[in-house]
Structure 1
C-alpha cells in the first residue's frame, strides 16, 4: 500500500481557516445578546413554536369540525324527534276521529238492548180510550179502570190546598197561644223574682243581726282575754321580782372574795365568778392607756420616717432633673457639632463633584474609544 505525502503548509492553512471559521461562529454567538443571555438555540425553538402553533390550529380545526358535526347530528335528531311526535299526534287524532265517527255507542248491534232512553222513545201501550191499537186480546182496557184520573188529580190538589190553608191557620193559632203563654210565664217569673228579692232582703237582715250579735260576743271575749292577760302579767312580774330578790340575797349567787379563788388550783372559780372587781377594771384601763401611748409614739416615729423619706425622694428627683437637663444640653451640643460637620462634608462633596464634572471629566469619548471593545471573543 502506498503512502501519500501531505504538505505541512496545506495542513496549517486548513487549521487556520478552520479556527477562523470557529472564531466567526463564536463571535456570532457571543455578540448576539439573546443567544448569549439565554444560551439556547433560538432557531430550533422558533421551529418548535411554529410546529406547536400549527398543531394547535389543526387541533382547533378538528375540534370545530367535531362540534359542527355534533350540532348537525343534534339538529337532525331534534328534527326526527319532532317529526315522530307529529306523526304520533296525527295517528292519535285519526284514531280518536275514527272512534268518534265510526264506533259510536248507538252503532252497536246490542244498542237496542242497552239504550238508556229506550223507554222514553217507546210509544205508550195506549194513547186513549179511542186508540185504534186496542184489541180484544190486547189486554189494554179492563173493567174498573180509573178513566177520570185527571179530574181526580185536580180534586186532590184542591184538597191539598185546603189542607195547607187549615195547617197555616192552625200554626198561626198555635203561635198566638205560644206568645200568650210566654207573656204569662214572664209575669209569673217577675212575681217569683219579687218574692225572691223579699226573701233575700229578709235573709240579709237576719244575717246582719246575727253578725252584730257575734261582734258583741267577740268584744266580750276580748275584754275577758285582756283581763286574764293583765292578771297573768302581774303574777309573772311578781314571780320575776321574787327570783331577782332570791338571786341578790342568796349566798349561791353573791360573789365573795373567799369563794372567788380555788385553793387547790389557785385559779378563778367559774361556778362562783360574777364579774371583775373595780381594781381589775382599773388595771385593764391603765394597760389600755399604756397601749394608746405606745401606739401614739409608734405613729410619731412613722411620720418622722415618712418625712425623711419624702425629703430624700425630693432631693433625688431634683438631682435626676438636673442630670437629665445636663444630658439634654450635651446632646444638643453634640447634635450641633454633627450638623456643622455634615454641612462642611456636604460643601466638600459639592466642590469635589464640581471638580469631577467641570475639570476632570471634560473629555468626550469618540467612536474609536467604543470600537476597541468587542473585537475578540477571547
Structure 2
C-alpha cells in the first residue's frame, strides 16, 4: 500500500543540498588545521606560462598581420600606379582622337558660326565673264589694274635681268682694260 522506494522530489532536495555544500565549504575555509597558508607557486607559474604563451601568439599574429599589411600596401601601390598609367594613356588617346578627328572645321556646326563664310564662298574677281556675277555686281571699276600682280612679277624679272647684264658688262670692261694695259706695257694696272 505505501510505496517506500519513490525518489525524492528534486525541488525539495536542491535547497538541502545547497545548505550542505555551503557548510562543507565553510568548514574547509575556516578550519585552521586543514587550511594552507601562503601562495600556490605551481598555480602561479602555470598562470605566468599561459600569459607568456598568449603574448607570444599575439605577437606572432601581429607580425603576420604586419607582413601581410606591408604586402597589401605594396600591391595597392602597384595597382594605384597601374590605374594612374591607364588613366594617363586613356587621356592621351582621347586627346589624340580630339586633335585628329574632332577638329573645328570638321563639325557640322562650324558653318553656322563662321561669320566670313560668304566672303570665302565666291572667289575674287576673275574677269567680266564669270557666270556667278550678275550685271549689278559691279566687279569692274575704271582705273582698276587687274593684272597688277603679273606686271610686278615681270618688272622684277626685268630688273634682275638688266642688273645681271650690267654686272657682266662691267666685268668685261675690266677684263678689256687689263688686256689693253698689258699690251701697252703700263705697269700697275690690275
TM-score, length-scaled by structure 1: 0.25
TM-score, length-scaled by structure 2: 0.42
Answer 1 or 2: which has greater helix percent. 1
Instruction: Give 1 or 2 for the bigger CA radius of gyration.
Output: 1
